[in-house]
A and B are shown apart, each in its own frame.
Chain A
């Protein structure tokens, strides 16, 4: 447990993805079974014991400490588990006291421990562990292990142990269970790849390249079919027959994470064996809602009937990878599309529909449709269209991003000129640079013309531009608030940033009343005086009525 705790401790401070990977892979390499397997389970959310309530933790420390000292300490530290981990009284260690518990011991004990025995068991472990070990234990048992590691990242780190493709782990993952001894045996070259008997396995997804204007010259419109690109979530909906002939249905994210539990309202619709590639959307009165609406259904701890009623979930299908027992991935797209249309018709459920195709004869026609989806066939759903997808009619379904098969052609992002107002230091590699920028546009305030902040961006610029902005920030700081610097933003003095963004909505949380989606720095406009930057009215006009 102390070794796992040391890993979590280190991960909690490490901002870089690659560094996190190396730390986790090193842990898997140095830690024997079954502990590393339980660690993988903890990081992928595959542990199933019931979490302890924080009241229980509080009771444990109150019984063992002076209430005034606990109050002062909690007030200073601000986190209950951490306070308890740090101030837990050190027992007088006897030479024959038990060694600290291993992670495997903790997990397997918690799995079967009667609830009333939990306090005493926790107290015993807390006596045996060190400060970091106690912190990790309390985070683990209260289900608050937030260390910035996704399931995908943990699996990628495991794959690196055996130089394997993380896709291969995703393929067999549904058939595996903690502590994953057979997985590690395969990764370390001691055994063959574990076979999966999963009736509803994930299939690694096919991805598209972003298309550039110069690409069209070499592409024949007749070779391609087009569909709208929806602003939802890519999912794979798989149903299969288990050995007892019952239907097993799973929903996977595009990285293969099992998200079935979050969408129970969609499952009954998927009653035929098959694997559908599609987009998860919220539909109200048959109209596609924006991504912001869909977001209300994501990352929820529990899916309440009210949530399901207010945010009705829907699957828009655009490909069929499996039909009954048959794997369709080798077939050309056109054939898969025919099979898909038949499959969706057989499902015959309003929760699942077909992604319509956008007819076009030339690239110019498609460009016109993309610029105005409403007057093509997107109709009232045009607002939720992000662009168009181009798929070669003869393309097989190939995992990854094969060249020239699928293209995404996004709508032009919105662009405005804004003025840099505040800058904040970045993290990790960027911690010595001012790399997070708050920018504003002009509006008429009580005291005349003033800049009002409309957004924050921390990417989009090149390394060279970062150095230039950093220099500018340091030279033209007008005030400091902790890690934040205010930089000069006068009509004739300041830096104009060309900001690109995907969408705009009203916001009561921002003084400006608008919030941008995916804002990024497009260009630095050293040539432009701040007085010529855009006005808030321009943004307000972009808001959908």
Chain B
């Protein structure tokens, strides 16, 4: 394991390589000076390595972009063919050199094509996890623990109150509700990229084989998932359905749509929302959700802690989310930990969601 190299046996230059010489936060994003690239930059740069396709991580306008094929495809779907000067696809486990650095992509288990990026330089390995989750998801490759010296972790759900529990139990809750209220239309708010497809796939795993309806904003990306071999069963656009047909059905829609004018096409709509935030009652109530479903594409508190311990990293950098609690926890475990001041990341922004199949914004 790279992290276990004993310093005394190392060549002299290794001891001079500090982690912050490899990756450093800058206004444009996380910068690798020796490799001359940025990871998930928020402003246009010459060379960008992108962890995954969510709009706060994958932005348009960079010179050269390196990412998994799926991430590149998602960027193309969102921004059009000329979203970058040039692109290069990398597979999980493949190694590429930039200057004195070796770069590898590893599955992050967050959404289809999502990756952690490991950067090794002078015998020190830093892993930028992007967004990740350490639980099963039928729509993407499972998270892989990458042993390292420094682990850069997200902290979206970085408070001990966030325990996501068993997602199949939440799917059962949804199906029970559909059975109990067969005259109502169940609208499930879910982020268009990743969450929606995961909810559909889990419904299928649970044996639900009726057609599932889609809001226009979900069609393109969902069809893309299918084109990558992810079976989602029969899907129909909600806009083509008559009101009566929608009784007792399940429709996936962006979170902003489930209480909008758009819902009037449904019979007695019931607002559900699939998100890790639904764990906290006040958050669900604020949004007027009737059926909160705790299904998250980020690791929960236990997942964050277990992952940090499993990497063997002795230094932890914490990015977007509830940094304070996770930094505090890592310190009590004898690790060096600090919040990383990166701006521009957060929840997938639905305003920049994928266009609908008829070209309008949903």
Contacts and interface: CB of A to CB of B under 8 A. Distances in A.
Interface of A: 6, 10, 12-15, 19, 22-23, 26, 65-66, 68-70, 72-73, 76-79, 82-83, 86-87, 90, 130-131, 425, 427-429, 431-432
B9 interface: no
Contacts of A427: 288
Given A22-B180, A77-B282, A427-B288, A72 B159 contact: yes
A86 B328 contact: no
B358 to A, nearest CB: 22
Contacts, number: 80
A425 B260 CA distance: 11
Contacts of A77: 161, 280, 282
Contacts of A82: 280-281
A131 B328 contact: no
Nearest to A483: B288
B8 interface: no
A76 to B, nearest CB: 6
B284 interface: yes
Contacts of A6: 173
A66 B259 contact: no
B302 A131 contact: no
A13 B173 contact: no
B98 interface: no
Contacts of B91: none
A425 B271 CA distance: 14
B163 interface: yes
Contacts of A131: 163, 165, 279
Nearest to A426: B288
Contacts of A130: 165
B180 to A, nearest CB: 6
Nearest to B166: A130
A86 B279 contact: yes
B264 interface: yes
B302 A22 contact: no
Given A76-B159, A431-B259, A66 B329 contact: yes
7 contacts: A22-B180, A66-B328, A69-B329, A79-B282, A86-B163, A90-B163, A432-B259
B332 A90 contact: no
A428 B290 contact: yes
B208 interface: no
A78 B282 CA distance: 8
Contacts of A10: 177, 291
Nearest to B272: A13
A26 B160 contact: no
B317 to A, nearest CB: 19
Contact of A431 (B288, B292, B332): B288
A431 B302 contact: no
B289 A13 contact: yes
Contacts of A83: 161
Contact of A76 (B161, B177, B181): B161
A29 B181 CA distance: 15
Interface residues of B, number: 35
Query: Which 7 pairs between the two chains have the least Cβ-Cβ distance?
Result: A86-B161, A87-B160, A73-B161, A72-B325, A87-B161, A431-B259, A13-B290
A205 B162 CA distance: 50
B292 A13 contact: yes
B188 to A, nearest CB: 14
Nearest to A428: B290
Contact of A15 (B161, B181, B290, B322): B290
Contacts of B260: 432
Contacts of A22: 180-181
Interface in B281-305: 281-282, 284-285, 288-292, 302
Contacts of B165: 130-131
Interface string B320-335: 0010110011001000
A228 to B, nearest CB: 43
A192 B165 CA distance: 44
A389 B284 CA distance: 46
A6 B284 CA distance: 15
Nearest to A86: B161
A483 to B, nearest CB: 8
A431 B161 CA distance: 29
Contacts of A69: 159-160, 325, 328-329
B160 A65 contact: yes
Contacts of B159: 69, 72-73, 76, 87
Contact of B181 (A19, A86, A425, A429): A19
A72 B288 contact: no
B281 A79 contact: yes
A132 to B, nearest CB: 9
Nearest to A82: B281
A79 B285 CA distance: 14
A12 B263 CA distance: 22
A131 B165 CA distance: 8
B281 A431 contact: no
A401 to B, nearest CB: 28
Contacts of B173: 6
Contacts of A76: 159, 161, 280, 322
A425 B302 CA distance: 37
Contacts of A26: 180
Given A72-B325, A76-B161, A431-B259, A23 B180 contact: yes
B1 interface: no
B268 interface: yes
A431 B268 CA distance: 11
Contacts of B268: 429
A72 B324 contact: yes
A83 B292 CA distance: 17
Interface in B145-169: 159-163, 165
Contacts of B271: 431
B160 A14 contact: no
A73 B289 CA distance: 22
B176 to A, nearest CB: 9
Contacts of B160: 65, 69-70, 73, 86-87
Given A69-B328, A82-B280, A90-B302, 5 more contacts: A79-B281, A87-B161, A90-B163, A425-B259, A428-B290
Interface in B250-265: 259-261, 263-264
Nearest to B292: A13
A196 to B, nearest CB: 33
Interface in B20-65: none
Contacts of B329: 66, 69
Contact of B284 (A13, A65, A70): A13
B179 to A, nearest CB: 9
Chain B CB count within 10 A is highest, among A12, A65, A77, A429, for A77
Interface in B170-191: 173, 177, 180-181
B295 to A, nearest CB: 14
B292 A432 contact: no
B199 to A, nearest CB: 18
Nearest to A87: B160
Contacts of B324: 72
Contact of B290 (A14, A78, A79): A14
Contacts of B261: 432
Chain B CB count within 10 A is highest, among A10, A12, A427, for A10
A72 B280 CA distance: 14
